[in-house]
Amino acid sequence: MLHQKAIEALKPSVQDMVRSGSRDVQRIEHTLDQLLNHACTPEGLTLFKTLCRHYWAIDQEATASYVQAYREMWAVDEQNESEAVHIPHPPAT
């Protein structure tokens, strides 16, 4: 119930940042910090992935650190990889 309330409160903010193309790093990171606490639920993970995909275009290194934090926090392993957050790899040069 607590996770659901938090997710519902964060959802409009995530949608707004993505829709508007926000580059407000402080706001994005603050929201990702909050979403990390709720990424154990399918709805929370979906929002986390959505914002990570948006943030990837702004700061790949910071996004990768959020993905790693998610993996560590929620003990994502090889078996659960299909549910995990994926970020694209930059093209080889």
**Greatest distance between any 2 Cα atoms in the chain:** 47
* CB atoms closer than 10 angstroms to residue 55: 24
* CB atoms closer than 10 angstroms to residue 42: 10
DSSP assignment letter at 79: G
Spatial CB neighbours of 47, under 8 Å, sequence gap ≥ 6: 7, 10, 11, 14, 35, 38
> How do residues 9-42 score in pLDDT, each as one tens digit?
999 999 999 999 999 999 999 999 999 999 999 9
**Band of residue 84 on the pLDDT scale cut at 50, 70, 90:** low
Cα–Cα distance, 55 to 52 (Å, whole number): 5
**The model's pTM:** 0.81
